[in-house]
Amino acid sequence: MTLSSWQLNSIDSSLIELALKEDLGHPFRDMTTATLFPELERARATAKIISKHPEPIVFCGLPLIKAILNQLTPDYQLQVLIHDGDTVAPGETLFNIEGSANALLMAERTILNFIQRLSAVASLTKKFVDAVHGTTMKILDTRKTTPGFRHLEKYAVQCGGGVNHRMGLYDALMVKDTHIDALGGMSQALQRLPENITEKYPVIIEVRTQDELNIVLEKAPHKVSRVLLDNMSLEEMAKCVKLCQNIMPTEASGNMSLNTIRAVAETGVDFASVGKLTHSAGSVDLSMKTI
C-alpha cells in the first residue's frame, strides 16, 4: 500500500474542518483578535513558518497547510521553500504566506498541530532508515497510529523513507499468535486459509519458533506472502531468514529501537515493522510568525 501526495491533497476535508472547529468554533472566529483588533478584519499580513527544532528534521504536511488555508480564505499567496520529504536545518524558513491577517492568525495553531506531528513521524522514520543504510532491509510502519490520522501518519512514514504496511484489518491478512493458538496450532491455522487467498490479499503469518516456520514451509508456502519473525533472538532470526531465502520474504517485529535495528538488519531480514514510528514520534518544534 502506497500513499501519494495526490491522495493527501484529496483527503476527506472533514478532518480539516474538525480540527478548525476545535479551535475556532462554528462559525469560525477568533474572539480575542476580533475584540482587540477589529481593524484587522480587512488587513493583509505576512507570516513565515520556521524550524526552531535543535536538530535537522524531515518536513511533512505541505498539502495540509494548503487545505487549512483554503478553508479560511481563498485569497492567499504561499511561497514554498521546502517540500515534503526535504530536510530542514535549525532556524530555516520553510514557507512564507501572505493573505488576510485574520485568516493567518486563525490558521496558525491548526497548521502547526498537523505539521509538527507529521514532521516528527517523518524525522523519526528517517533515523531508522539511516540506521540500516547499506543493508537490504526496509522499515515498515504499523497500525499503532493516532485515531483519524492513519493516512497522514503513513504518508509521513513515506516522506521519511519508510514503507507502508497494511492500512488496516481490511486490506491484508495477518495471522498472529492469538489466531494460531485459538485454532490449536500452526497446521490448523494454515488449513483454514483458502488455497488461492494470496491472489486476493497479502497473507502475513507470525512465527515464534523455527519449528513453526518449518510447518509453514513444508505444508503451505503458497498460502503465505511473508512470514513475521516475532520477538526472536538475532541468532534464531538469522536461521529463519536463511530457511526462507528464495521462498518468501521475512519481517522482524517486536520492540525495535534505534539501538537494535542495525543488528536486526544484518540478519538479512527483508523488513522490520516499527511501532515507534507513529506511537512514539512526539512533535518537532516549528513556529509560525505573523507580521
Mean residue pLDDT across the chain: 94
Q: Over the range 168-179, which residues count as b (16 or more CB within 10 Å of their CB) and which as e?
A: eeeebbbbebee
d(C-alpha 109, C-alpha 32), whole Å: 14
pLDDT at 7 over 60: no
Task: Give the chain's radius of gyration (CA, Å).
Answer: 23
Cα torsion for 210, 215, 220, 225, to the nearest 10°? -20
Query: What is the percent of the chain with per-residue pLDDT over 90, rounded to a whole number?
Result: 90
Counted residue by residue, the chain has a size of: 291
- Residue 206: active-site member: yes
Taking only the tens place, the pLDDT of each residue in 124-176 is: 999 999 999 999 999 999 999 999 999 999 999 999 999 999 999 999 999 99
d(C-alpha 90, C-alpha 52), whole Å: 6
pLDDT band at 209 (very low <50, low <70, confident <90, very high): very high
- From the list 84, 141, 206, 251, the catalytic residue is 206
Taking only the tens place, the pLDDT of each residue in 163-182 is: 999 999 999 999 999 999 99
Q: Is the pTM of this model over 0.75?
A: yes
Contacts of 130 (CB under 8 A, 6+ apart): none
Taking residue 289's Cβ as centre, other Cβ atoms within 10 Å add up to 12
- From the list 66, 143, 176, 262, the catalytic residue is 176
pLDDT at 1 over 70: no
Taking only the tens place, the pLDDT of each residue in 69-119 is: 999 998 999 999 999 999 999 999 999 999 999 999 999 999 999 999 999
Taking residue 110's Cβ as centre, other Cβ atoms within 10 Å add up to 22
- Residue 176: active-site member: yes
Mean pLDDT of 233-243: 97
Contact 168, 197 (CB under 8 A): no
| Burial zone of 12 (CB within 10 Å; 0-12 exposed, 13-18 middle, 19+ buried) | exposed
Contact 267, 34 (CB under 8 A): no
pLDDT recorded at residue 12: 61
Mean pLDDT of 7-35: 84
**What does the block give as the cell for 235?**
541468532
Structural domains in the chain, CATH included, are 5-123+282-290 (3.90.1170.20), 130-279 (3.20.20.70)
- From the list 17, 86, 98, 109, the catalytic residue is 109
pLDDT at 39 over 90: no
pLDDT recorded at residue 6: 44
- From the list 84, 212, 230, 270, the catalytic residue is 230
**What does the block give as the cell for 275?**
511501532
Query: What is the percent of the chain with per-residue pLDDT over 70, rounded to a whole number?
Result: 96
Contacts of 172 (CB under 8 A, 6+ apart): 166, 201, 202, 203, 204
pLDDT band at 232 (very low <50, low <70, confident <90, very high): very high
Q: Over the range 49-82, which residues count as b (16 or more CB within 10 Å of their CB) and which as e?
A: bbbebeeebbbbbbbbbebbbebbeeebeeeeeb
Residue with the three cell numbers 497500525: 143
Contact 84, 91 (CB under 8 A): no
